[in-house]
Amino acid sequence: MVNEGLAHVSDRLLFLAVVLYAFAMLGYAAEFAFGKRARATADAIEDEVARIEVPADVSALALTASGPQPVVERPASYHGPVLGDGTVVDLDAPEPRRRPWRRDPADPGAPRGGRGDALGKGAVALTVIGWGLHIGSVTTRGLAAHRVPWGNMYEFSSMIALIAVTTYLVILLRQPIRYLGAFVMLPVVCYLGIAGTVLYTPAGPLVPALNSYWIKIHVVAVILASGIFAVSAVMTALYLVRSRYDTVTAAGREPGSVARLGRLLPDAKKLDTNSYRVVAFAFPIWTFGIIAGAIWAESAWGRYWGWDPKETWSFVTWVIYAGYLHARATAGWKGRKAAIICLVAFAALTFDFYGVNLWFSGLHSYQGPGV
Amino acid sequence: MTTTDSDAPVAPGDSVALSTQPLPPPPPQLGRRSPWQVARRGWRVLTSMRTALLLLVLLGLAAIPGSLIPQHSLAPSTVLRFQEKHPTLSKVYDKFDLFDVFHAPWFAAIYLLLFISLIGCVIPRTRLHLRAMLRRPPAAPRNLGRLPQSARWETDLPPDRAVELAAKALRRKRFRVAVGEHSVAAEKGYLRETGNLLFHLSLILLLAGIGTGSLFGYTGSVLLVDGHSFTNVAALYDTYKPGALTRSTSLSPFSVHLNGFDATYQADGEPETFDAHVTATTAGGKTTSNDLRVNHPLTFGHARVYLIGHGYTLHVVLRNKAGVVEYEDDVPCIPQDLTDYLSDCVVKAPNTGGTIPTVLKDPQTGQTATVDEQLQFAFLLDFVPTAAVTAGGVISTYPAPQRPRVIVQAYTGDLGLETGVPQSVYDLDTSTLNPVAIDLQHQVITPGGTDQTVALPQGYTLDVSGYGQWASLQVKDDPSKLYTLIAAGLIVLGLLLSLRVRRRRVWLRATPSASGRTIVEAGGLARTDADDFAREFPRLVARLAGDVRPSESS
């Protein structure tokens, strides 16, 4: 029944993917380290540029309005639109092509080239190849077992890691977030390492309770939401580091060893906004996942909600994330407090997946460590 | 409510937070407040967003003990075991309903307060939103240059024409547009608030659906032995839990006959398929053959029938010395372990027709007397589907009956069935019974095999002449299930709208200048997601300015 050859290929592909992710992580980390030097050079160049007089006739300098813009003196003959901050809006400029993955993460304006930049680009390339192999691993696993490749905790973990990497790559297509690379890859590599060793389950058919088309709906939604939440948790943790760095340096003190990382990160507000958006994207998916689970439970166990430990903890997770989204809208709870709620929510999510399976026996305990 | 991540200034009347009321104003002066004032203040506090948030978090926290402490509703036997092990702690837990968290009054109090708070928030806010939708977008502020987003350009078009073209362009961008004298006010993204309200209203609807379902519905379960039938009547259930308002005399009429049960397993003992072959008869006398499987319940009106468990039965026959059958039944065995299906079967045969001399002792005088008591038998039979002999005894190595054996223990004595104290048919208290010595070769027998007969005192014999299967069915009737489902769907829709749609306002003013040209000023305010709007605004300006462009030829 199980195609052993394909199952073997799947295991190999996952191993290769983890190796590539690990190297990508090293690349991102090295870029981080070199980035410091590169930025120091960039500052020097900027100082140099500042001393050069700007020529009077800059009418040709029609700027597109995206990203930080220098204020440009416009000639008296210009009657086109000018934004409140003095930026000239070019009516004929095409939409700028955005290639954020090619830009230095923490400082999009920094000069290209340089060792750090090359390392970062290389790391992105490795991530993409690893991601391809990872997809290959998941696909062959499904083909080997003739079913969806998310039937037990090992497969589930692999899928969540895949979604986390996918989320990172998708955001990278839109925004320069290469700084996230090392911090996403580190948990992904550890997580896949644990999945491939401790949680590993050979390919096999599904137990009857899981054999339903709802496994394609409920479990996919839950995996998607979890993978995306994972990325938001990484961003939130980085936000906390950066905001700590800001507070400490503003007070004129020397930042601690962790807070020092903050110097290399983009500004706190940006991190905070990004992580909020990622949560806001994942939250409806999580909600849908719970509802789909309830519909499935109705047809499998005869009730849509029964406070089974898994149900209880997904509800707790939902409530805390809902609390986070609300907290962002309440003045007194913005910033660090809201960020901590977000991390607590992610902790509840993690517990929902692993704690509940390992410590409680409930209806969600399927083969060995179940889903 | 999930509304904003912007730090943009907010126009008057815009409520960023869910609460319709700003935080209660400080109490006027010292002095007595009338009960009406106190009530009003209480209502304000209850319906403030902070309270709602607190209650939400509290609800999450309150659910946690329900997963940490064994619950009556989920695992009653685990609760009993826990209570035996920790009697003092259990008393404390019981005091706070911690063995039944989800039905505890304090749990209900939290969610009822939360929903009152929600209703208190949502209704006034719905009114505000409806009013906002009927109203024209608010008129342009005096100084557009002071808005977070602004732009300015000149055009040769007269102000009227410029405004007209801009309004047209904004309408094309699906803004709601109000044209004033030489000015345009436009707003977009009302669906955000609509979604927000839809989400919260649907939450209330969902709770109402759950509540009605548990008031009018019922849950029952029944263990059905191969070849037997079940008719949907409250009295025939093994367990039956009606809601407070359920009319138990008129349950959906149907009956189910179990023709057979098939279970298949993988080589490692993991189950592969469960399939109960049933014949269902509905009120009209219509009979259908069905396969009742996990994930595939049968539906009769509101009621649905689920396969939730299975196990083995043993066919047991007790005969007296003359060979007359005194007891015969298919006894259901309860699996002790779902991976190997080693199962316990309890047989209680109080009426055997025989008597047994019994020594009775008077507790007061200490005198003893021998009387003939009714002979009662009890048996503990362990069904081993696939038996293997190890040093520790006989174990089961596979859940399917590949090498079925039965381990026999027999007892005589008073089973206590006449005392009136209720006892479970699946449990046997052997402490007051006398074990019957069984010869070694009959301690483990093969059901239906040549060694199936066990010799008992007074010439009685026990035959385990075969084995079968039982299936346990659960019947659940929830009349409001559909509404609950619709509410759940609307929750997701509302969430998507309230988290994805961005609300923003754009204003435009055209003023003739001394040079004969027209100065156009534009301003924008994002009520949500200021960063995105900062990117959108220049593009919008380019579009508007492009349409309201000076004709270069002139």
Domain ranges across chain B: 44-126, 139-188+502-548, 218-310+475-491, 312-467
Q: How confident is the model at residue A366 (pLDDT cuts 50, 70, 90)?
A: very low
Q: A302: which chain B residues are within 8 Å (Cβ-Cβ)?
A: 219, 297, 304, 306, 308, 474-476
Does residue A255 belong to any structural domain of this protein? yes
- Chain B nearest-CA distance from A281, in A, is 8
* Whether residues A47 and A176 fall in one domain: no
The closest CB to that of A283, out of B270, B304, B499, belongs to: B499
Instruction: Compute, in degrees rounded to 10, the torsion defined by CA atoms A221, A227, A229, A230.
Output: 160
Check CB contact of A347 with chain B, cutoff 8 Å. Answer: no
**Mean pLDDT along residues B298-307:** 89
Check CB contact of B492 with chain A, cutoff 8 Å. Answer: yes
Looking at residue A59, its pLDDT comes to 37
- What range does the domain containing A187 cover? 4-26+116-360
Q: How confident is the model at residue B2 (pLDDT cuts 50, 70, 90)?
A: very low
Check CB contact of A84 with chain B, cutoff 8 Å. Answer: yes
Return the residue in B2, B68, B210, B239 with the most chain A beta carbons within 10 A, the one to mutate for interface testing: B2
pLDDT, chain B, mean: 85
Looking at residue A53, its pLDDT comes to 41
First to last CA, chain B: 53
* Whether residues A128 and A45 fall in one domain: no
Helix/strand/coil (H/E/C) assignment for every residue in B328-343: EEEEEEEECCCCCCCE
Task: Cite the beta strand spans of B147-286 per DSSP E.
Answer: 149-155, 176-180, 183-188, 218-225, 229-231, 239-242, 254-265, 271-282
Does residue A150 belong to any structural domain of this protein? yes
Look at A86 and B537; give whichever has higher pLDDT.
Answer: B537
The closest CB to that of B492, out of A207, A291, A320, belongs to: A291
Per-residue tokens: A333:
């709870």
The predicted-structure confidence for A9-43, as pLDDT tens digits, reads as follows 999 999 999 999 999 999 998 887 776 544 545 45
The predicted-structure confidence for A253-268, as pLDDT tens digits, reads as follows 888 877 878 888 888 8
Per-residue tokens: B476:
């659940």
Check CB contact of A2 with chain B, cutoff 8 Å. Answer: no
Q: Which residues, numbered 162 to 221 in chain B, qualify as contacts with chain A under a Cβ-Cβ cut-off of 8 Å?
A: 210, 219
Q: Tell me: pLDDT of B313 over 70.
A: yes
Does residue A369 belong to any structural domain of this protein? no
* Whether residues A134 and A253 fall in one domain: yes
* Whether residues A235 and A257 fall in one domain: yes
A10-14 long-range contacts, Cβ below 8 Å, gap at least 24? A10/A136, A10/A137, A10/A138, A10/A139, A10/A140, A10/A141, A10/A144, A10/A203, A11/A137, A11/A196, A12/A137, A13/A133, A13/A134, A13/A136, A13/A137, A13/A140, A14/A133, A14/A134, A14/A137, A14/A158, A14/A192, A14/A196
Check CB contact of A352 with chain B, cutoff 8 Å. Answer: no
Tell me how many domains chain A contains: 2
CB A312 to CB B152 under 8 A? no
Cα distance between residue A282 and residue A291, in whole Å: 14
Q: What is the DSSP letter of B20?
A: S
Looking at residue A229, its pLDDT comes to 97
- Chain A nearest-CA distance from B387, in A, is 23
Looking at residue B265, its pLDDT comes to 87
Instruction: Please spell the DSSP secondary structure of B428-455, one letter per residue.
Output: ---TTSEEEP--GGGSEE-TTSTT-EEE
Q: Which residues, numbered 160 to 199 in chain A, qualify as contacts with chain B under a Cβ-Cβ cut-off of 8 Å?
A: none
Looking at residue B20, its pLDDT comes to 42
Q: How confident is the model at residue A75 (pLDDT cuts 50, 70, 90)?
A: low
CB B538 to CB A319 under 8 A? no
pLDDT, chain A, mean: 80
* Whether residues A81 and A128 fall in one domain: no
Check CB contact of B114 with chain A, cutoff 8 Å. Answer: no
Check CB contact of B541 with chain A, cutoff 8 Å. Answer: yes
Looking at residue B485, its pLDDT comes to 94
Most confident of A287-291, B144-148, B529-533: A287-291
Looking at residue B29, its pLDDT comes to 53
Looking at residue B305, its pLDDT comes to 92
The closest CB to that of A308, out of B74, B151, B545, belongs to: B74
CB B18 to CB A326 under 8 A? yes
| Fold assignment, B139-188+502-548 | TATA-Binding Protein (3.30.310)
* Whether residues A168 and A312 fall in one domain: yes
* Whether residues A243 and A264 fall in one domain: yes
* Whether residues A184 and A265 fall in one domain: yes
Q: What is the DSSP letter of A351?
A: I
SS3 B22: coil
* Whether residues A11 and A80 fall in one domain: no
Q: How confident is the model at residue A96 (pLDDT cuts 50, 70, 90)?
A: low
Q: A284: which chain B residues are within 8 Å (Cβ-Cβ)?
A: 492, 495-496, 499
Q: Tell me: pLDDT of A158 over 90.
A: yes
Cα distance between residue B35 and residue A111, in whole Å: 69
Instruction: Tell me which of A107, A139, A167 is where a domain ends.
Output: A107
* Whether residues A154 and A75 fall in one domain: no
Looking at residue B408, its pLDDT comes to 92
* pTM of the complete model: 0.81
pLDDT above 90 as % of chain A: 39
Q: A315: which chain B residues are within 8 Å (Cβ-Cβ)?
A: 60, 63
**Contact call for residues B191 and B497 (beta carbons, < 8 A):** yes
CB A306 to CB B73 under 8 A? yes
Looking at residue B270, its pLDDT comes to 79
Instruction: Tell me which of A75, A107, A139 is where a domain ends.
Output: A107
Q: Tell me: pLDDT of A289 over 90.
A: yes
- Chain A nearest-CA distance from B154, in A, is 5
Cβ neighbors of B53 (< 8 A, separation 6 or more) are A323, A326, A327, A330
Check CB contact of A284 with chain B, cutoff 8 Å. Answer: yes
CB B542 to CB A91 under 8 A? yes
- Chain B nearest-CA distance from A44, in A, is 30
The closest CB to that of A326, out of B49, B67, B219, belongs to: B49
* Whether residues A67 and A155 fall in one domain: no
The closest CB to that of A360, out of B67, B488, B539, belongs to: B67
- Between chain A and chain B, the number of residue pairs with CB atoms below 8 A apart is 182
- Chain B nearest-CA distance from A145, in A, is 13
The alpha-carbon radius of gyration of chain B (Å, integer) is 38
Return the residue in A270, A312, A346 with the most chain B beta carbons within 10 A, the one to mutate for interface testing: A312
Q: Between β-strands B405-412 and B434-436, what pairing exists: parallel, antiparallel or unpaired?
A: antiparallel
Q: B154: which chain A residues are within 8 Å (Cβ-Cβ)?
A: 79
pLDDT above 90 as % of chain B: 29
Q: Tell me: pLDDT of B430 over 90.
A: no
**Mean pLDDT along residues A217-239:** 95
The predicted-structure confidence for B180-223, as pLDDT tens digits, reads as follows 888 999 999 999 999 999 999 999 899 889 888 888 989 899 99
- Chain B nearest-CA distance from A228, in A, is 16
* Whether residues A292 and A170 fall in one domain: yes
CB B542 to CB A81 under 8 A? yes
Does residue A120 belong to any structural domain of this protein? yes
Residue among B296, B298, B291, B308 nearest B255 (CA): B298
Instruction: Tell me which of A69, A88, A107 is where a domain ends.
Output: A107
Q: B293: which chain A residues are within 8 Å (Cβ-Cβ)?
A: 208
- B407's enclosing H/E stretch is strand B405-412
Per-residue tokens: B302:
């509101």
Looking at residue A69, its pLDDT comes to 42
Q: Tell me: pLDDT of A297 over 70.
A: yes
Return the residue in B64, B295, B304, B531 with the most chain A beta carbons within 10 A, the one to mutate for interface testing: B295
Looking at residue B283, its pLDDT comes to 81
A244-248, B97-101, B344-348, B369-373: least confidently modelled range:
B369-373
Looking at residue B354, its pLDDT comes to 80
- Which residues are paired to B278 by β-bridges? B258, B290
The closest CB to that of B496, out of A80, A284, A323, belongs to: A284
CB B538 to CB A214 under 8 A? no
A28-42, A228-242, B70-84, B287-301: least confidently modelled range:
A28-42
